[in-house]
Amino acid sequence: MTGPVGDPGDRGHAGTLTVSGGGIRVATDTVFTEMAALRLLQGEAEHWQGQIGRVRSMGVGPAPGWQPDDLGACVFGASVAIDAVADRSGQLADALEQAAEEYARLETGLDVVLRGTGAWMAHTLGVLAPVLALAAATPLAYLAAGSLLSSAALGRTPSVVPPWLTDWLRENPRLLTNPATVAMVRALVSSADEAVLGRLGVPYPVAAVMGDEGSGLLGAQSSAFGLLVAARAAGMLRESPVRVSQVGSSTGAAGVAGDPARAGGVGVRPTGTGAAGGALVAPPTVPLRGPATRPGTRLAPAPAAGTSPAAELAPPGPPTGFADLADRIPTEEDGGQVRIERYGDPEHPSWLVYIGGTVEWSPTGSTEPWDMASNVAAVAGQEAGSYRAVLQAMQAAGVQPGDPVLPVAHSQGGLIANQLVSRGDVNAVGMLTFGAPETDLPLPDGLPAIAVEHADDIVPALGPRADEDQRLYVRRELFAGREVPAAETLPAHQLVGYRETARLVDDSPEPRLVAFRAQLDTIVGTTPGEQTVWRAERVD
Amino acid sequence: MESAGGSILPDVSGGPDAETLARLREQRRLLRGVRDEVEASGRRLAGQELGPAWRSPAQRAYGTGLGELSANLRGAWRALDDALWAVDDAIDRVKAAL
């Protein structure tokens, strides 16, 4: 079901949301608005019948004696009409609900067909052409996107994508910002293994069983891991230790985390940051899992040597919805990649951890941990530099094992958030991501997890999807009926667009989105909290 | 009694009195509240105009259903308004008989 698109000139509240996943229903927010209005009317009609019953109980005379204009006859007529209102509004709401369920079945069927077709096409390509490189479809796509962004934004020469392709894609911005392209990429990403197996001469039925479409023996994670090893041998996508510094605070304290002298406090293990030179990091750096801290035993964030002056920030008010959450995800303008907010009293705090998206798109590396090395490492299931940086920032901010944590993230930050939650490194009470690459990482049962994606944003399609996924996907085509900005690379992936979409999500009456907002209220309470902003850098 | 309340006041055997008047006024209050709520809901429903994307036969059928629902609401409003008129009339007659 396609909802109305807005006036091209109105970027405020144009567009329609589609909500899917969680194994329940798929529908646009238009449908949910209609459904909610009809259910409201049905409830009102039932209330009116109660009021009419009270009028009758006071006496309206016996029916045989009614004249057309008598109170009894009029009340009876009103009662019949109100009954009809209740019945019809209920029937219409039921019909919308049924349509949403049918739509979900249709979407699932189409998805299966698309993925199956993608697997077959990939296998055929593997047989017919030397396309072994498709084995790395997911990380290669990252590299391609990164090269495009770096060439567009920084004027660098692309190192992965041929210049003619870069120029052509730049001249045709609609190609990469197109739901059809996104669907095709999603199918190809999930079919990389079929291409390899086809190239190796494995018949399609066997390849289908062995690849993502079948048993899942192979997948994007293993492809990314293979690329990571190869790239590091060539001096690219190298990991390194990271250091985290506080660059902003509403409490005035500043600190640095990530050096061995900082080792202290809850959950600290050996930092494991000796990954310089390309070794893959295995253990978590600062895991926050473990038994909850008993009241009165909380440790204050340890002060660190080499503190640097931090900008003074205002105490944050409790976020009230998706728009507030999206607005607080840090960008380069904030000076850091992680914002951490604390609500509640010191002995029973709740934490909101905002994680930004990729900053450095070049595969050759820099001091920026939010880079392509971290992107590919995260897809490969490894602990990326950015992942370790987030754990260190949380540690330095005072997050204790068992504390309720709600990660809110954009793009690469979404990969990190999924890893944090899936590994149990934090006591997650929910998760919200914007434009994050999809992932097949399992989540704790019943965890409210919402993934906001633009249907014309190619980045979410770059990750693998699980067959059984409890995440609730909220999708919107950002540039439906609108001109795609030619000056921006991957404009549908930019945080500014997701912030606009978050405002639409706040207006949605979809029950699970409403429930998420209600849960947010209980997490953050009503009084202002404290916030810190953290900047991480690689310290090769 | 017949002249005072007709079929509206069948249970009043002792003639119209203050208690009857109070009961009629309570009925009027209840009916007016329901009528006003029905009116507000009708306005709200009328505001839910279907956009240009509602084009398929199923969507048009849904639109027809909404139209019928609006008609039901209008019917309820008219019946309630008539009931209010009847109660007002009864109140006037009771007052005149007191």
**pTM of structure:** 0.65
pLDDT tens-place string over residues A388-414: 999 999 999 999 989 999 999 999 999
Considering CB atoms only, which of B58, B72, B87 is closest to A85?
B72
The answer to whether A129 faces chain B, any CB pair under 8 Å, is: no
The pLDDT confidence band at residue A477, using thresholds 50, 70 and 90, is confident
For residue A274, pLDDT over 50 is answered with no
Structure confidence by residue, pLDDT tens digits, A420-467: 999 999 999 999 999 998 888 899 999 999 999 998 898 888 877 766
Q: How far is B80 from chain A (nearest CA, A)?
A: 6
* DSSP letter for each residue of B25-87: HHHHHHHHHHHHHHHHHHHHHHH----TT--SHHHHHHHHHHHHHHHHHHHHHHHHHHHHHHH
Q: Establish if A111 touches chain B: CB-CB under 8 angstroms.
A: no
CB contact under 8 A, B65 and A88: yes
User: Cβ contact (<8 Å) for A95 and B48?
Assistant: no
| Beta carbons of B65 and A75 less than 8 Å apart | no
A252: alpha, beta or left? (left if phi > 0; alpha if psi -120 to 50):
left
Chain A residue numbers with beta carbons less than 8 Å from the beta carbon of B69 are: 41, 85, 88-89, 92
pLDDT of residue A285: 47
Q: Which of A47, A71, A88, A94 is the best residue to mutate to test the B interface, defined by the most B CB atoms within 10 Å of its own CB?
A: A71
Torsion, Cα A373 A374 A377 A382, to 10 degrees, reads 140
Interface test with A, best of B60, B73, B89, B91 (most A CBs within 10 A): B73
State the pLDDT at residue B55.
58
Chain A: give the shortest CA distance to residue B97, in Å.
19
Distance CA A356, CA A535 (A): 11
Interchain pair A99, B58: CB under 8 A? yes
Q: How confident is the model at residue A382 (pLDDT cuts 50, 70, 90)?
A: confident
Q: Does the beta-carbon distance from B69 to A92 stay under 8 Å?
A: yes
Cβ pair A61:B90 closer than 8 A: no
pLDDT at position A258 is: 46
